[in-house]
Structure 1
């Protein structure tokens, strides 16, 4: 298989993920197709892997993946009914099941074998894309960036059709969605805003790369990039997501610095505090609700209530956790029955809190290890002459990590695949500090 064919297949897969992987509860057939393709990319990636040629950031990223795999396997460890009942958070459940003479035999660490397996399957598109890209001898950075920015613009155009068509228009791709608002290829307007946000640093990388390749067209390319940037920024404003509003300034600042970087350290030194400030701002606001929604105030109270109910669950099930993908069932046990409404709670709207509920101490460890890797890559980027696409990937990861503090963007195949690709772009194009100075890139 030639490089062009591989690059074409990979780009088509990214486009498919963005087009049909925008919901975490719907689109089962489309997501199943993406998962099957993810298995194919995963198998090809492991078959073609050059283990000896991996550099430190790549090895550390694979180490994180191995830790995640061990955590996943731990969910399915069989236990006797007596041992299962002794795990944190299981005593009340065991007492109820004992009354029905229905104690699980064997039991598992996870409360729901099916939900944990289903959640693991949702990781396949991101894992497949990441492993395949990591195994490739050349990384099609320009093509990937063009696909991401192009799909962001298409999603923006679709969102305009949705708003102009009204709440009942057929332009909405999902039944369970933010009708009346601009969601594009997604079910959630916040996730639409995040796609537009992560496309900004890649647009900056494309402008810088094109200015380098075509210096005689530097002015025209800069003006064209600025026009596209303005269109994406206006789109973020029209989506109305408070997530988009809070993260637009850090994303825009980082994108501009990718194009014009007086000093390499400036990008990281300004981006990290800007993202932290945006996270603090939205933490104080307590919501990522749409700014145009008449229910914004009730959403604020609702998300605070979710956190108040979820924290005791995390404490009760710690350090083992309730099992990957079991938040929905666990949360119902902690709701105040007198305050239950018709609003359906399927996520904690804080992926870090939900991971701790599901995975306990291992979830905390995974979070800490990944943040350490991300900051380590920043240190490596400072020490070498890195590609602008590596910087774009690093900034995009920061945007997604920040958004995960009050929502669940990585639980969609679309954004999780973008996340996986960004991780590889950072790891693959951050050379080690010694002689092996660069990955093969195109």
Structure 2
């Protein structure tokens, strides 16, 4: 009887050891999978910012970036699990609906159906004159531009499929790489501001020559990207450190980086950067928490301020040189011009009328330019043209009609729910708050611009959405620490 009990205990111990070994192995496999996806996402983000800083469809680098995006989607789908989609259920549904809506606009329709849609009269007259009024046509008025709009969605989709597979720790690790990309874009901006307006540091043929556009083709997008670095910097400075010296160094780095960001935003010449920069500073102040020192201070550790002083001094010198070289272009433009003088307000009025004319389904994906050119008055003609409305809350209803407006309303409602959850938390989930701040800045910028049509910025926006979601999921666990959640 005793031998039987000993045998049962040995069997139970062996089974427990096997279970523990299996769990440890599974944890190692999961950690390796996380690291693999994280590294792939880092590489992909780097390539997106190097090749996807312009919203134009004829940018040559898109011939490389978009096929890479399709391959990245395949890589991400290989390791994607159903629980990843469940965790980001709303974002996944929105992604499917957006892609489906863009795809539906490419489906050929019978002539009778297509001709019954609003705003097709001019094309119908041309077809009758050419004798081709019986052909089937896609819903969108510009099928080529519609296909371009459809394929453009694969760039942020790849970032989304990879980001949702990462846990909170790996998503938080994206903070430093994004800050480094921001620093690189700012450095490009300094060289552009003090250098040749047609020099090699401008990465795109059609750009704001003479302005500090950084890794982008448009100064507004550079300004917005630099502005979003402020709440991210606050999150970075709030993360726990091992020593008091590390805490002081991190605070010095934050102070120096903020001192550099302000003039860099000004020299872009983007007026929205000033307004959004003030809001970003408020968001950063709300996000920031004094970092905890989790390590034990050693007696041999000496307080050193030399590196911090050198960093702040160097940053201050760089700030002064930048301001002197560029003469704060944004302030000059803010005082000398206004939106109405540049014709943007008139363009918004025309776009609003067109959106009503093309209700309920819109003019079709990618069709803004030819639709706008048909309706613009003669006194509005000039050597330049509007490639977008510069207000996505008008362009989406114009091109996608009521379905597009419903998607916007759903996104705004979901954002409102998330903000309410952040406000109700006893301890603010900082990762979620940072994501919410970035989303807010993107949303406000979309009233006067089109940042989400830039491939690299769309990927960045996806990361911010994932920060918001994972931060809220972990708020009950992380409410008592200062690790960045």
| TM score, norm. by length of structure 2 | 0.78
Could you tell me whether the CA contact under 8 Å between 1:162 and 1:181 is conserved in 2? yes
Compared with structure 1, are the counterparts of its residues 43 and 138 closer, same or farther at alpha carbon in structure 2 (3 Å cutoff)? farther
Aligned length: 411
Does 2:121 match 1:91?
A: yes
Shift of residue 317, structure 1, vs aligned partner: 0.8
Partner of 2:365: 324
Separation in 2 of the partners of 1:436 and 1:208?
Answer: 14
Partner of 2:304: none
Does 2:432 match 1:390?
A: yes
- Residue 242 (structure 1) aligned to one of 262, 271, 277: 271
Does 2:398 match 1:357?
A: yes
Separation in 1 of the partners of 2:213 and 2:336?
Answer: 17
Compared with structure 1, are the counterparts of its residues 380 and 49 closer, same or farther at alpha carbon in structure 2 (3 Å cutoff)? farther
Compared with structure 1, are the counterparts of its residues 51 and 429 closer, same or farther at alpha carbon in structure 2 (3 Å cutoff)? farther
Could you tell me whether the CA contact under 8 Å between 1:23 and 1:186 is conserved in 2? yes
Shift of residue 387, structure 1, vs aligned partner: 4.3
Partner of 1:274: none
Separation in 1 of the partners of 2:270 and 2:150?
Answer: 29
Separation in 2 of the partners of 1:105 and 1:80?
Answer: 8
Task: Specify the SS of the correspondent of 2:141.
Answer: coil
Separation in 2 of the partners of 1:377 and 1:367?
Answer: 15
Could you tell me whether the CA contact under 8 Å between 2:396 and 2:405 is conserved in 1? yes
Separation in 2 of the partners of 1:347 and 1:380?
Answer: 35
Task: Specify the SS of the correspondent of 1:355.
Answer: helix
Separation in 1 of the partners of 2:476 and 2:224?
Answer: 36
Task: Specify the SS of the correspondent of 1:154.
Answer: helix
Partner of 1:144: 174
Shift of residue 403, structure 1, vs aligned partner: 0.1
Shift of residue 93, structure 1, vs aligned partner: 2.5
Partner of 1:260: 289
Partner of 1:273: none
Task: After superposition, give the CA deviation of every residue in 1:128-164 in whole Å (9 maximum; x if it has no partner).
Answer: 1011111235652343111111111111111111121
Partner of 2:467: 425
Could you tell me whether the CA contact under 8 Å between 2:34 and 2:170 is conserved in 1? no
Compared with structure 1, are the counterparts of its residues 7 and 28 closer, same or farther at alpha carbon in structure 2 (3 Å cutoff)? same
Compared with structure 1, are the counterparts of its residues 434 and 200 closer, same or farther at alpha carbon in structure 2 (3 Å cutoff)? closer
Q: 1:430-441 alignment to 2 at 5 Å? A: 430-431=472-473
Partner of 2:29: none
Separation in 2 of the partners of 1:391 and 1:229?
Answer: 19
Does 2:349 match 1:308?
A: yes
Does 2:106 match 1:64?
A: no
Separation in 2 of the partners of 1:357 and 1:139?
Answer: 40
Could you tell me whether the CA contact under 8 Å between 1:26 and 1:176 is conserved in 2? no
Partner of 1:175: 205
Shift of residue 109, structure 1, vs aligned partner: 1.5
Partner of 2:295: none
Separation in 2 of the partners of 1:336 and 1:104?
Answer: 32
Unpaired runs of at least 5, structure 2: 1-31, 291-328
Shift of residue 26, structure 1, vs aligned partner: 6.4
Does 2:188 match 1:158?
A: yes
Task: Specify the SS of the correspondent of 2:432.
Answer: helix
Task: Answer with 1 or 2: which has the greater Rg.
Answer: 2
Could you tell me whether the CA contact under 8 Å between 2:348 and 2:389 is conserved in 1? yes
More contact order relative to length (CA 8 Å, sep ≥ 6) = 1
Separation in 2 of the partners of 1:337 and 1:436?
Answer: 60
Partner of 1:406: 448
Task: After superposition, give the CA deviation of every residue in 1:204-230 in whole Å (9 maximum; x if it has no partner).
Answer: 11110145x555632332122111122
Separation in 2 of the partners of 1:30 and 1:174?
Answer: 9
Could you tell me whether the CA contact under 8 Å between 1:173 and 1:186 is conserved in 2? yes
Partner of 1:33: 64
Task: Specify the SS of the correspondent of 1:29.
Answer: coil
Task: After superposition, give the CA deviation of every residue in 1:145-190 in whole Å (9 maximum; x if it has no partner).
Answer: 1111111111111111112113222221122111111111111111
Shift of residue 370, structure 1, vs aligned partner: 0.7
- Residue 376 (structure 1) aligned to one of 417, 435, 439: 417
Aligned alpha-carbon RMSD (Å)? 2.8
Could you tell me whether the CA contact under 8 Å between 1:115 and 1:324 is conserved in 2? yes
Partner of 2:312: none
Could you tell me whether the CA contact under 8 Å between 1:45 and 1:136 is conserved in 2? no
Separation in 1 of the partners of 2:218 and 2:332?
Answer: 14
Shift of residue 248, structure 1, vs aligned partner: 0.8
Could you tell me whether the CA contact under 8 Å between 2:156 and 2:462 is conserved in 1? yes
Task: Specify the SS of the correspondent of 2:238.
Answer: helix
Unpaired runs of at least 5, structure 1: 262-288
Could you tell me whether the CA contact under 8 Å between 1:38 and 1:128 is conserved in 2? yes
Task: Specify the SS of the correspondent of 2:375.
Answer: coil
Does 2:447 match 1:416?
A: no
- Residue 125 (structure 1) aligned to one of 134, 141, 155: 155
Compared with structure 1, are the counterparts of its residues 297 and 79 closer, same or farther at alpha carbon in structure 2 (3 Å cutoff)? same
Could you tell me whether the CA contact under 8 Å between 1:383 and 1:433 is conserved in 2? no
